Amino acid sequence: MLDLIELAGLTSKKAKEELSLLNDQTGLDAFYAKYLSKKGEIRMLLSHMKEVVAEKKKEAGEAVNKAMGEVSAAYEQKRAKLETEKLAKRLEEEKIDITLPGRKLTTGRINPYYQIIDEVTDIFLEMGYEVVEGRDVETDHFNFELLNVPKDHPSRDMQDTFYISDELLLRTQTSAAQAHTMCERSANPRPIRMICPGKAYRRDDDDMTHSHQFAQIEGLVVDKNISIANLKATLELFVKKMFGEKREIRLRSSYFPFTEPSVEVDVSCFKCGGKGCATCKDTGWIEILGAGMVNPKVLQSCGYDPKQWSGFAFGVGVERVAMLRYGVDDIRRFYTNDTRFLKDYSGK
């Protein structure tokens, strides 16, 4: 026969053990439903009363009540404990120390030099160019020879630089990256559209507009049937995106050993709109870059057959653009890390 007294004791013991393992509200709710609710295991014990013999009924009733009391008390205790812990945790997390002074947030700014590089890069990426990384230490071969500047060429004088050995030097122009790109692909010549932002070095005396180290962004396009019209259209689009829709460009003939024909590119003055002012020295135009059609000799030396391929190249001076755009008076400010300068000139 069912021993209700023993069953009540066992149920109480089982419930208390289960309860001791719980540590969250969901578990506690489930526990309540399982043991203490109307249909819970403890109340359900009462439904067995009718099977208990008359003389044991009193004792059995007491046993069930005792189980109910014990489990209820344990449940209440656990509930209160969880509640206190929860509150303590919240108080800890939401603690505000009003005795501390507020934290001052200083937002950094991008040096205008890098900002120009980013902007120019974005414009050319949109036009489908890839970004090529060049190297600061170059060989004479890539910096000069492949670019149609043999050892005795007078244009070397203008680019006197820092030599590491007779054949190794700090590059004088990012144009070396053109030669690398073409040579790397010459085994399987295919169209090129690339830019290479980076540093260049020349042994200039540093003054307001010259620095022994400066940045350029080189551009190179090689494909079938590229003409000077493509060069002009590309630079026009670049200038309008960089300096505004109203800007015009003007090509003046020039000379670079690695381009033929070569041009200097002027942009209509963004200060006065072309009327003439101090920024454009009253000419209405500002020179911003050098460019030209890739000299067939360069294509040939770099492994692209000039009978099949043609191209154009250009080189933009980063600091020059930044100085004009932000009205910076001295190129050396870009490198001296004076935060007052950054505050003044960052942002459009």
Please state, in angstroms and rounded to a whole number, the distance separating the CA atoms of residues 294 and 308.
13
Q: What is the largest CA-CA distance in the chain?
A: 126
234 binds ligand PHE, rule: CB under 6 A:
no
DSSP letter at 47? Answer: G
C-beta of 111 vs 143, nearer to ligand PHE:
143
Least distance (Å) from ligand PHE to the CB of residue 187?
24
The single residue among 175, 211, 301, 310 that binds ligand PHE, judged by CB under 6 A, is: 175
Q: How many CB atoms lie within 10 A of CB 124?
A: 21
**How do beta strands 192-201 and 213-223 pair?**
antiparallel
Please state, in angstroms and rounded to a whole number, the distance separating the CA atoms of residues 242 and 64.
87
**Binding residues with ligand PHE: total (CB under 6 A):** 11
Q: In the beta sheet, which residues pair with residue 138?
A: 169
The single residue among 134, 198, 257, 315 that binds ligand PHE, judged by CB under 6 A, is: 315
Angle formed at CA 144 by CA 189 and CA 140, multiple of 5 degrees:
105
Least distance (Å) from ligand PHE to the CB of residue 325?
19
Least distance (Å) from ligand PHE to the CB of residue 218?
6
C-beta of 25 vs 227, nearer to ligand PHE:
227
Task: Give the per-residue contact string, 285-304, with ligand PHE (x = CB under 6 A; - = no).
Answer: -----xxx------------
Residues 6 or more apart whose CB falls under 8 angstroms from that of 336 comprise none
Residues 6 or more apart whose CB falls under 8 angstroms from that of 49 comprise 4, 57, 60, 61, 64
314 binds ligand PHE, rule: CB under 6 A:
yes
**Chain residues 64-103 in contact with ligand PHE, contact rule CB under 6 A:** none
C-beta of 71 vs 218, nearer to ligand PHE:
218
- Closest residue (Cβ) to ligand PHE? 315
Task: Give the per-residue contact string, 259-288, with ligand PHE (x = CB under 6 A; - = no).
Answer: x-----------------------------
Please state, in angstroms and rounded to a whole number, the distance separating the CA atoms of residues 259 and 149.
11
Which residues contribute to the site for ligand PHE (CB under 6 A)?
173, 175, 218, 256, 259, 290-292, 313-315
